[in-house]
Amino acid sequence: MLKKKLRFNNIVNDIPLNYKFILIYIVGVLLPIMVINLVFLGRITDLIKSREEQNLEISLERARKDIHDFIEGGVAVSYTLSTDKNLYEMLDRPYKDSIEFYDAYDEELRDRLYSFMPVNNQIERITVYTANQSIVSGGNYQAMNAKIRTSGWYRQAESSSNQVVVAAYRISENSNSSTPMLSIVDWMDHYNSFGTYEKLSRIDLDLSEVYDIIVREKDYLSLYLVNEQNQIVMSEASGYQHVTDEPYPLFVQPESGDQEVHILPIGTANYLKGWRIIGITQGERIAEAVLDIRVYAAVLATTVTLLTSAFIYVMLRSYNYRVKRLARHMQKVSNEKFELIMIDEGRDEIGGLIHNFNRMTSRINSLINDVYKLEIQSKNLEMERVRAELNFLQSQMNPHFLFNTLNAILVVCTKNKYDDVTDIIKSLSKLLRRLLRWKEDLVSLQEEMQFIEMYLKIEKFRFRDKFDYQFEIEEQALAYKIPKLSMQPLVENSCKHGLQTIEGLGVIRIRAAAREERLQITVSDNGKGMDAAKLKELLHNIRTEDSSGLNIGMRNVYRRLELYYADQVTFEIISAPDEGTSVSFGIPLRLLERIHPPGGE
């Protein structure tokens, strides 16, 4: 037994060191890595499949609940309307003429439906229909006619036995297209004493909200909102925009074996009977997740293998590599190249030699180069000082050159009695000087108005008789401090976009007043204005960071006011085509500094 042990030791001792490390690497590192990956990869795959199935169920339930709450919000509003006794009374009352109806409309009906809109974002429109023909149709109140009674939503409500009906239908806009609609229709027959005329309410829901819910879950499932007729009311592919005038497509069970169908009823109420949310998965997500973990395991195993291989390689060549580096650097010393050996020295004998060599080389190199390096550093410092002086002189020269040029032009205009040009050059010079010397970020309204007046004088010179401006500034408002250049971009915008294309006299009005604990500033013009769609786009652009460089001036004003005063500042734009544009903002006085006149408290 002892001889066998000794023979085994002799065999191990006879193996070269390089091969010993290779055997250690294969048996002790590579083989365990492969076994662990093969054993646990199957288990991890099962866990991933289970997790993804749970994610699909959560996604489907989340979409169902959101759509259910979306519809229930509209139903709650319809129930409130159906129990509004005063509304019943107003709708059952016969009106002698349109004047009597409009009087009642102004007193009772005008704001009765609009009050539900701010707190119910899912509602797009509320309309009440009545057979009372003395009511003048318009807005949210409509008298029934033959067209209404033959519409898709009315037929659905009439054919249903439920008081409340969830109707999916289309409204034709022209011969080639129609708009999909989703509405809550409620028969208003709660009070028998007010049953003279047939009445019902229709609450149109915003289908874009449903579309957003369906698109939100597209990473997990392809979702379909299906009604009681098995029609696809909404899906990611159908969208909610105008489509061709075709009926809602029927939902067909997929035949592919790798597709899984998950079905959940939207709710248990009678009006939701038959409505359901259907989710279809192709199986790619689970397959991709499994593939990802396999790729991850393969990358991890490869990385560990490479790292351990590199480690073994470093250990094997450690002694040989360091000796060669030491010999090579000793040869460089003989050629007057005093370079340190930049490697880990180690604590063995070779490491001691490298450490002593580095100390010797460092001392020799220091003695030779210290004086030379000090001289180089001194010259570099001198060059930096000269460069700084040149930059300073250049920064001083540019404004001086500009003002000297303006002064030269001013002298020539004065000699030739060009009074208009002289005033404009003076205003331009003051404006530029103010921009260069305006260091404070907060300035008084009086200073801001002086700057704007100089700017408008220049614009007045450009437009001549086609342009004028008016100031309506309260005296007490001038002392409050606001962010500088808060008004100039608004004035410039009026000149550039509002007045250049109109005929006749263009007028810009600037108003400022300290009222109701706010400093209210308004810049208005009588220019070309804009329609509601363009105004909505403008408001969106100034409230977002990415708007392709459009409306940059107005957006900067809004952002600066928002940074200084957060949500305490109000910012409003009013505009109509050919009626001009008015931009105003208000700041609470308690947030503003106020300058005091000399001798004041």
Q: What is the C-alpha separation between 556 and 537, in angstroms, rounded?
A: 16
Q: How far apart are CA 454 and CA 439, in angstroms?
A: 19
The 8-class DSSP code of residue 339 comes to: -
CA distance linking residue 290 with residue 298, whole number of Å: 12
Contact residues for 140 (Cβ-Cβ < 8 A; gap 6+)? 109, 113, 114, 125, 126, 127, 128
DSSP label of 241: S
Top-confidence range, 106-120, 192-206, 407-421, 495-509: 192-206
Q: Which has more pLDDT, 562 or 429? A: 562
Residue 329: the pLDDT is 73
pLDDT bucket at 87, cuts 50 / 70 / 90: confident
pLDDT of 319 above 70: no
**Cβ(251)–Cβ(268) below 8 Å:** no
Distance between CA atoms of residues 377 and 319, nearest Å: 40
Among 65-79, 166-180, 232-246, 451-465, the minimum mean pLDDT is found in 232-246
pLDDT at residue 512 above 90? yes
In angstroms, how far apart are the furthest CA atoms of the chain?
127
The winner for highest mean pLDDT among 76-80, 366-370, 540-544 is 76-80
The sign of the CA dihedral 128, 132, 137, 143 is: positive
pLDDT tens by residue, 519-536: 999 999 888 888 988 888
**What is the CB neighbour count within 10 angstroms for residue 319?**
14
Instruction: Please give, one letter per residue, the 3-state secondary structure of 464-508.
Output: HHHEEEEEEECHHHHHEEEECCCCHHHHHHHHHHHHCCCCCCEEE
Q: Are 562 and 536 in contact (CB under 8 A)?
A: no
Cβ-based neighbours of 206, under 8 Å, separated by 6 or more: 121, 122, 123, 124
Cα–Cα distance for residue pair 37/304, rounded to 1 Å: 12
If you average pLDDT over residues 295-301, what whole number do you get? 78
Q: What are phi and psi of 590, to 5 degrees?
A: -70, -20
Give the whole-number percent of the chain exceeding pLDDT 90.
8
Running DSSP on this structure, what letter comes out for residue 249?
A: P
pLDDT at 208: 84
Q: Where is 444: in which H helix or E strand?
A: strand 442-444
Instruction: Report how far residue 66's alpha carbon sits from residue 382's, in angstroms, rounded to the nearest whole number.
Output: 71
What is the rounded average pLDDT of the residues 339-360?
A: 74
| Percent helix, strand and coil across the chain, each to the nearest 5 | 55, 20, 25
Pairwise CA distance, residues 585 & 236, whole Å: 41
Q: Is the dihedral of CA 381, 386, 388, 389 positive or negative?
A: positive
- Most confident listed range (364-373, 425-434, 519-528): 519-528
Q: What are the chain's domains?
A: 77-281 (no CATH), 440-591 (3.30.565.10)
Alpha carbon distance 583, 587 (integer Å): 14
Task: Of 48-62, 175-189, 216-230, 350-364, give the lowest mean pLDDT range.
Answer: 350-364
Spatial contact of 184 and 102, defined as CB atoms under 8 Å apart: no
The Cα–Cα gap between 475 and 472 comes to 10
Burial class of residue 281 in the structure, from the number of CB atoms within 10 Å of its CB (0-12 exposed, 13-18 middle, 19+ buried): buried
Question: Is pLDDT of 541 > 70?
Answer: yes
Q: Which of 261, 259, 238, 236 is nearest to 249 (CA)?
A: 238
Q: Would you call 138 helix, strand, or coil by DSSP? A: strand
Note the pLDDT of residue 279.
Answer: 86
Look at the alpha carbons of 322, 325, 331, 336 in this order and tell me if their dihedral is positive or negative.
negative
Q: How confident is the model at residue 417 (pLDDT cuts 50, 70, 90)?
A: low
Long-range pairs for 31-40 at CB < 8 Å and ≥24 separation? 33/301, 33/304, 33/305, 34/301, 37/297, 37/301
Give the span between the Cα atoms of 338 and 329, in whole angstroms.
Answer: 8
pLDDT of amino acid 340: 76
Identify which has the larger pLDDT, 95 or 301.
95
Which position has the token pair 């290779």?
22
pLDDT score, position 391: 42
Q: In terms of DSSP H, where are the helices of 184-283?
A: 207-216
Q: Name the β-bridge partners of 523.
A: 510, 583
Write phi, then psi, for 345 (nearest 5 degrees): -70, -40
Are the C-beta atoms of residues 480 and 519 closer than 8 Å to each other? Answer: yes
Q: State both tokens at 360.
A: 């010797």
Mean pLDDT, the chain, as a whole number?
Answer: 77
Token pair, residue 542, equals: 């100034």
* pTM beyond 0.95, yes or no: no
Identity of the amino acid at 254: P
Q: How confident is the model at residue 456 (pLDDT cuts 50, 70, 90)?
A: confident
Residue 505 pLDDT class (50, 70, 90 cuts): confident
Residues 6+ apart with CB under 8 A from 542: 551, 554, 555, 558
Residue type at position 303:
T
Q: Rounded distance, CA 72 to CA 116, Å?
A: 14
What are the start-end ranges of the E strands in 147-207? Answer: 164-172, 177-187, 199-205
Residue 249 has what pLDDT?
A: 79
Burial label for 247, CB within 10 Å (0-12, 13-18, 19+), is exposed
Other CB atoms within a 10 A radius of the CB of residue 35 amount to 10
The answer to whether residue 491 scores a pLDDT higher than 70 is yes
Average pLDDT over residues 38-47: 74
Element (H, E) at 290: helix 284-334
